[in-house]
Every structure is written in C-alpha cells, then in structure tokens.
C-alpha cells in the first residue's frame, strides 16, 4: 500500500496556508540508458478542494485520503471528465 501520509500532510498544510497550489510527485532518474521522468501523482488544491489530477499508481488515492480524514466532498477526481465525476463517490468540483 502506498503511504500518502507525508504527501497529505503537505496538502493540508498548503491548503491552510494558501489556496490554489499544485503538488506533483515525480519519477526522476535513469532506467538502463533511458531517462525516466514523469508524474506519479499530481494534486491541485482549488477552492479548498483536493483535485486528484493524475494517479499513476494502482492505489485508490481517494480512498486513502478519506481514510486519513479528508471528507469525500473535499475530493475531486480531476482526471475524469465532469460528466463522469457525478457518478463517483466524490464531488464534481
């Protein structure tokens, strides 16, 4: 299971300090002779909501956020179009 505690604490701190911030966790390095660079996860904080913009893991980040006490109405699955978000357990945004 992916441990999001540290990342979530950053999200919560930034949410309280100033809104409209972006947090991205990246793969950076080399694999054989090829450069590896890309997002693992990407979150935006917009108007007090945590927008999951990218999840390159197999973990359900929204579930982990709610297990850590973030209400579902404060989570937006931003990588889904708005017409699909209405069918999720989270807010449309």
DSSP string covering 50-93, please? EEEEEE-SSS-HHHHHHHTT--GGGEEETTS-HHHHTTSSSB--
- Beta-bridge mates of residue 21: 45
Across 66-81, b (16+ Cβ under 10 Å) vs e yields: beeebeeeebbbbebe
- Top CATH class, 5-85: alpha beta
pLDDT at residue 11 above 70? no
Torsion 71-40-42-87 (CA) sign: negative
pLDDT at residue 1 above 90? no
Whether pTM exceeds 0.75: no
Domain extents for the chain? 5-85
pLDDT in tens, 18-32: 445 676 667 778 888
pLDDT in tens, 26-61: 777 888 888 887 778 888 888 888 999 998 888 888
């Amino acid at each position: 299971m992916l441990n999001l505690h540290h990342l979530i604490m950053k999200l919560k701190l930034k949410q309280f300090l100033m809104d409209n911030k972006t947090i991205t966790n990246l793969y950076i390095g080399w694999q054989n002779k090829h450069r590896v660079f890309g997002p693992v996860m990407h979150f935006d904080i917009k108007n007090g909501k945590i927008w999951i913009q990218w999840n390159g893991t197999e973990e359900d980040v929204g579930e982990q956020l709610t297990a850590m006490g973030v209400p579902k109405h404060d989570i937006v699955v931003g990588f889904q179009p708005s017409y699909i978000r209405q069918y999720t357990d989270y807010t449309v945004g």
